[in-house]
Amino acid sequence: MTRDAHEARSRTGRRSGDSGSKVAILAAARLQFAEYGYDGTTIRGIAAAAGVDPALVHHFYGTKERLFAAATELPIVPSEAINAALASREPGRSLGTHLAYSALALWERADMRGAFQAMLRSALTSEQAAATLRDFIAEAILGPVASAAAGADAGNAAYRASLVATQMLGLAVGRYVLRFGPVAQASKEELAVAIGPAIDRYLTGDLGQAGRGH
Amino acid sequence: MTRDAHEARSRTGRRSGDSGSKVAILAAARLQFAEYGYDGTTIRGIAAAAGVDPALVHHFYGTKERLFAAATELPIVPSEAINAALASREPGRSLGTHLAYSALALWERADMRGAFQAMLRSALTSEQAAATLRDFIAEAILGPVASAAAGADAGNAAYRASLVATQMLGLAVGRYVLRFGPVAQASKEELAVAIGPAIDRYLTGDLGQAGRGH
DNA sequence: GGATTAATTCAACATACGTAGAATTCACCG
DNA sequence: CGGTGAATTCTACGTATGTTGAATTAATCC
């Protein structure tokens, strides 16, 4: 009927070729969850960033929670990565320093950074995300700790691990979330040698005479 | 007109006596900001907890941002508290240990805990709150660091301070926000002696040969 | 090439939120 | 004891959110 313009350009319907929308949505979700946390991220915002209708997000990923789960799914198995890292330690470098460096390197891998930051930022508002982070930390840190402190102070392994976790966590929050100056700008190597010894002490050192020995 | 029940109980209007609503609202706000962060907290939720109409919250505190500012206003001046803490150090106790203990004690003061946790949890979703936290940390930590490392390594004061901040921050997040086991249950004294030496090292120790001297 | 399936958008619903304005009741000052 | 101001609630507006269902178009299979 030549209504309006003579080329009606149907807006709806499937597009020609491979649009890559599903991947684009997941990428946008990673970015936004990392930047704004779970609550601060909106499906509409993700859809807009991916150049797509909000309903399509639903079509692919169902609910927002499932999208979050997909976005924070790590491309590696933490314990394997840690073990691989431990195996590659150069002689002359302490365990703590190596651990700190490996963690920093891991966090900055392009395919990890988004998922990791999303998890970190969301853990602080969503109890569900917090539980996931707790498990992740337990898996990632308790292993090395147990192997390092085995025999020496096995009864305190969990305590030692949690101390290591505070330092690593503080580093991550300070560097990536709060981004305060020097720590955000320093190189991985610089931070590793600065923090490593503290971690070594948590792993195997003397934790004070407060009488926590079993 | 004896419509319905014979006692119409005007719901609106001022109540008799001192209701304490204003204080109740602020207390509820502190609790909820601490528990859910800025975005996760709703004015309606605060009003419900305070047993009050949402509009009353507005009447007293204006906008949500102003309520947040009121709720996170610390009852002390950080730098003064730190200075007071520094002055009370017993001989035989390291600066780092004393600092860690003082911070823990400060965080657990009833009148601080709410405001502090609200700030901490909100800083991770709201950039505005993050900026406030950065300033707070700078004020609270840079002072002691500067005085401790004065002369010895003055050029690196900011770097050293930020390292201290990562450890303190990680401790706070692990203990109060994520609440993972051992660190959440340990006593202040226990944590102080465990973490103190690490902080001492950040303050005045050797940070590695990565060549950051000016 | 017709039927089926997947991709895509539109329009809409049901909630929830922050906020504003008007109305009502009490306290207090003269 | 009359009037001014503060406290309190009700109703409502505008907007944003997660989610759903129907409609439309392209790809794919037989």
Nucleotides of strand C under 7 angstroms from a protein beta carbon: 6-12, 16-27
How many Cβ atoms sit within 10 Å of the Cβ of residue B121? Answer: 24
Tell me the CB-side half-sphere exposure of residue B43, using CA atoms within 13 A. Answer: 16
Residues in B closer than 8 angstroms to A193, CB to CB, are: 207-210
Which regions of chain B carry the CATH code 1.10.10.60? 21-71
B3-7, B106-110, B172-176: least confidently modelled range: B3-7
Angstrom distances, CA of residue A90 to CA of A86, A102, A187, B98, B209? 9, 12, 19, 36, 17
Which regions of chain A carry the CATH code 1.10.357.10? 78-204
**Stretch B33-58: mean pLDDT:** 94
Q: Are A25 and A47 in contact (CB under 8 A)?
A: yes
Tokens of A2: 């030549």
CA pseudo-torsion sign A193, A197, A202, A203: positive
pLDDT reported for residue B3? 38
User: Can you give the distance from the CA of residue A51 to the C1' of nucleotide C12 in angstroms?
Assistant: 21
Considering only the beta carbons, identify the residue of A180, A193, A210 that sits closest to B208.
A193
User: Can you give the distance from the CA of residue A9 to the C1' of nucleotide C21 in angstroms?
Assistant: 47
Angstrom distances, CA of residue B152 to CA of A19, A52, B82? 60, 58, 21
Query: What's B21-71's CATH class?
Result: mainly alpha
User: Residue A3 CB closer than 7 angstroms to strand C?
Assistant: no
Q: What is the mean pLDDT of chain B?
A: 84
Residue B96 has pLDDT above 80, yes or no: yes
User: Residue B9 CB closer than 7 angstroms to strand C?
Assistant: no
Q: Are A39 and B39 in contact (CB under 8 A)?
A: yes
Give the closest residue to C17 (Cα–C1′).
B42
Considering only the beta carbons, identify the residue of B124, B178, B193 that sits closest to A37.
B124
Please tell me the CATH code under which domain A78-204 is placed.
1.10.357.10
Are residues A168 and B169, on separate chains, in Cβ contact within 8 Å? no
Given a cut of 50, the residues of chain A with pLDDT beneath it are 1-7, 210-214
Residue B214 has pLDDT above 70, yes or no: no
How far, in Å, CA of A34 to CA of A41, rounded? 9
Considering only the beta carbons, identify the residue of B138, B174, B197 that sits closest to A165.
B174
pLDDT reported for residue B126? 73
Q: How far is B50 from chain A (nearest CA, A)?
A: 22
pLDDT reported for residue A5? 42
Which residue in chain B is spatially nearest to A33 when comparing CA positions?
Answer: B125
Q: pLDDT tens digits, residue range B100-154?
A: 999 999 888 888 888 888 888 888 777 777 887 888 888 777 776 666 665 566 6
pLDDT reported for residue A26? 96
pLDDT reported for residue A177? 86
Are residues A36 and B124, on separate chains, in Cβ contact within 8 Å? no
User: Residue A11 CB closer than 7 angstroms to strand C?
Assistant: yes
**Stretch B183-210: mean pLDDT:** 90
Radius of gyration of chain A (CA): 22
